[in-house]
């Protein structure tokens, strides 16, 4: 009998650059200070990006857990676009090419979504069942585009900061072989830190 395989994926809390709508890929910004109750769940280890904003988010949600940092779970490297906004870049032809086909084109000094996908999927395959992983908007949208039961384009997914998403496959082999998951749901958080799965 197949045992389900689930992963909980969390987008970090916002940074100043996020609030300014800048491309913040490998730029190592801290999160904006905020007050948030920890989650009422016993987790010994949280996995995630090695960037500061992911580590700080994990510390807020899981203050007693150890953190296993993995650079493969970083945001896409935006290269020459780092720290810039759409308004600053919209007339740049290289930027237009990247927006039009981000899987094929990469910013100067950065990476394409295809390159990001390869490293993120490799990292996901290494995580244990029911692991919690704190990462970024790009990797989560990539996961949704590749693994969600409903096929939708990368840019169409909306992933708020601090949101938690549960991916559930029929078994681990389905994840390892790149198959779509059985279910994808946003996990709601109550005021006292309890998780409510839709």
Looking at per-residue pLDDT, the higher value among 198 and 177 belongs to 177
Task: Name the pLDDT band for 110 (thresholds 50, 70, 90).
Answer: very high
Q: In this predicted model, what pLDDT tens digit does every residue of 73-107 receive, in sequence order?
A: 999 999 999 999 999 999 999 999 999 999 999 99
Percent of the chain with pLDDT over 70: 98
DSSP character string of the chain: -PPPEEEEEEEPPPBHHHHTTB--SS--PPBPP---PPPSS--SEEEE-SSHHHHHHHHHH-TTSEEEE-GGGSPP--GGGTT-BHHHHTT-HHHHHHHH-TTT---TTS--HHHHHHHHHHHHHTSPTTEEEEE-HHHHHHHHHHHSSS---GGG----TT-EEEEEESSHHHHHTTPPPSEEEEEEE-TTS-EEE-
Residue-wise pLDDT tens digits, 128-148: 999 999 999 999 999 999 999
Using the predicted structure, report yes or no on whether residue 67 has a pLDDT greater than 90.
yes
pLDDT over threshold 90, residue 190: no
* Predicted pLDDT of residue 1: 44
pLDDT (average), residues 12-23? 97
């Amino acid at each position: 009998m197949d045992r389900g395989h689930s992963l909980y994926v969390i987008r970090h809390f916002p940074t100043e650059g996020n609030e300014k709508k800048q491309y913040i890929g490998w730029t190592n910004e801290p999160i904006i200070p905020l007050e948030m109750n920890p989650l009422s769940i016993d987790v010994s280890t949280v996995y995630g990006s090695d960037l500061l904003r992911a580590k700080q988010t994990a510390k807020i949600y899981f203050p007693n857990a150890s953190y296993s940092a993995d650079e493969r779970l970083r945001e896409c490297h935006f290269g020459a676009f780092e720290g810039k906004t759409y308004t600053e870049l919209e007339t740049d032809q290289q930027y237009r090419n990247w927006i039009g086909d981000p899987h094929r084109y990469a910013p100067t000094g950065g990476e394409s979504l295809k390159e990001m996908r390869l490293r993120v999927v490799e990292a996901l395959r290494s995580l244990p069942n029911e692991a919690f992983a704190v990462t970024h908007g790009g990797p989560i949208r990539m996961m949704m585009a590749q693994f969600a039961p409903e096929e939708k384009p990368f840019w169409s997914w909306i992933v708020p900061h601090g949101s938690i998403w549960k991916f559930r496959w029929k078994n681990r082999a389905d994840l390892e072989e790149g198959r779509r998951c059985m279910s994808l749901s946003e996990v709601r958080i109550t005021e006292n830190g309890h998780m409510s799965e839709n």
